[in-house]
Amino acid sequence: MRIVSVVGTRPQLIKVAALQPALRRDHEDIFVDTGQHYDDAMAGNFFAELGLARPDHSLGIGGGGHGDQTGRMLIALEPLLLDASPDAVIVYGDTNSTLAGALAAAKLGIPVAHVEAGLRSFDRRMPEEINRVVADHLSTWLFAPTPAAVANLATEGITAGVLEVGDLMFDLAARISAEVRGPAVLAAIASRLNLAISTGRYLFATVHRAENRSPEAMAAWTALFEAVALPDRPVVLALHPGTRIALETAHIVLPPNVIVIEPQGYRTSLALQLHAAAVLTDSGGIQRESAWLGVPCLVLRDTTEWVETVGGPDSSAVLVGLDRSAAIREIDARAPQGQSARQATDRAAGLRVVQAGAAERISAALVSAEPPVEVGT
């Protein structure tokens, strides 16, 4: 098949890195980067690090509001798709690039394949929820990562074209995890970033979602960080450029014992998670990565589409929202300060993550140029 792959953000580049080798072995793949993450800190270094081919088309859309950004993507994608005349367009996840790619293809009568179909947070206030719902209802192939995702689609009346394939990000984490296990990896990162940290003696954090950039939300999560950050166990915050601007605009200062670093490449981010006492994040990708690595994760949201990772006290992740008391309680329970260094050391030394083959399943499903039969038939 001739396929156009549309991406635009860091998590999507990770998924493409997992799928691209199989896709280019079996198909003609035209790689389009919308530029939704438009600086090197967020996306540029991923190409070299993950062995990604450079995009065949870079649209350079950049930032802007949701309507403005999505509209400019649509305008840029339509002539490109008309010229390429692909058999299918692949979109990934739940971003504005996903929505624009699905809409542009569907309006031109080009079949859409949605990777990570069926995920639902059931919170329509999230732009990502709108994007993923619309993309699913426009798609011919719906590549679901989990049984829960398949069930969500069935609830919405979507059964034709659905195939449970597993998680592409899991396969990439499995491929890279052996490279980040050793304590020397963290020591090298700490030296490069000028960080006084060691295994199990820091917390790793990211915050990027729109709902966590309001002044009220930022005041809440910075207070949460202040409560859990200690002089001998600081919070290392990989600060998203958009979040940095929002903090500066609101004149909110990060508390003591919160160490800010730039967004990191894939291996560094994975290593910083693995060797941390715990992770605090509103990122679905990091929530999943921490689960595969076995790292306690406090999710700074009230809902999640990755329901498999949350649950009882033995689950890897727990929803705390922006509740400071809940965060203190969960860190004390999951990563007690006196035990977290030993826990993290043992976890890293014993880490074994085995690839599950999501990329092979997706590529094979596209080989026939026909969507899978209706689930259950």
**Lowest mean pLDDT across 47-51, 125-129, 137-141:** 47-51
pLDDT at residue 330, as a whole number? 96
Q: Are 35 and 8 in contact (CB under 8 A)?
A: yes
208 annotated active-site: yes
**Lowest mean pLDDT across 22-26, 32-36, 92-96:** 32-36
pLDDT higher than threshold 90 for residue 44? no
- Of residues 54 and 346, more confidently modeled: 346
Span 275-287, pLDDT tens digits: 999 999 999 999 9
- For the entire predicted model, the pTM comes to 0.86
pLDDT higher than threshold 80 for residue 371? no
Tokens standing for 357?
A: 């083959």
Task: Return the domain boundaries, the chain.
Answer: 2-167+356-367, 174-349
Query: Do the domains spanning 2-167+356-367 and 174-349 agree at the CATH topology level?
Result: yes
- Residues 290 and 340: their CA atoms lie apart, in Å, by 15
Span 185-212, pLDDT tens digits: 999 999 999 999 999 999 999 999 989 9
pLDDT-based confidence at residue 41 (cuts at 50, 70, 90): low
pLDDT at residue 311, as a whole number? 74
Tokens standing for 150?
A: 């398949």
pLDDT higher than threshold 90 for residue 368? no
Q: Are 207 and 238 in contact (CB under 8 A)?
A: no
CATH level 3 topology of 2-167+356-367: Rossmann fold (3.40.50)
pLDDT at residue 234, as a whole number? 98
pLDDT at residue 308, as a whole number? 87
pLDDT at residue 115, as a whole number? 98
Measured distance between the N- and C-terminal CA atoms of the chain, rounded to whole angstroms: 25
For domain 174-349, the question of CATH label 3.40.190.10 is answered with no
Catalytic residue among 208, 240, 251, 275: 208
Taking residues 343-363, report their average pLDDT.
Answer: 94
pLDDT higher than threshold 90 for residue 42? no
Q: How many CA atoms lie within 13 A of 31 on its CB side?
A: 16
pLDDT higher than threshold 80 for residue 5? yes
Taking residues 108-135, report their average pLDDT.
Answer: 95
pLDDT-based confidence at residue 377 (cuts at 50, 70, 90): very low
Mean pLDDT (the chain, rounded): 92
**Lowest mean pLDDT across 106-115, 201-210, 220-229, 300-309:** 300-309
Taking residues 294-311, report their average pLDDT.
Answer: 92
pLDDT at residue 52, as a whole number? 86
Measured CA angle at 132 (ends 216, 362), to 5 deg: 135
Residue 299 phi/psi, 5° resolution?
-90, 120
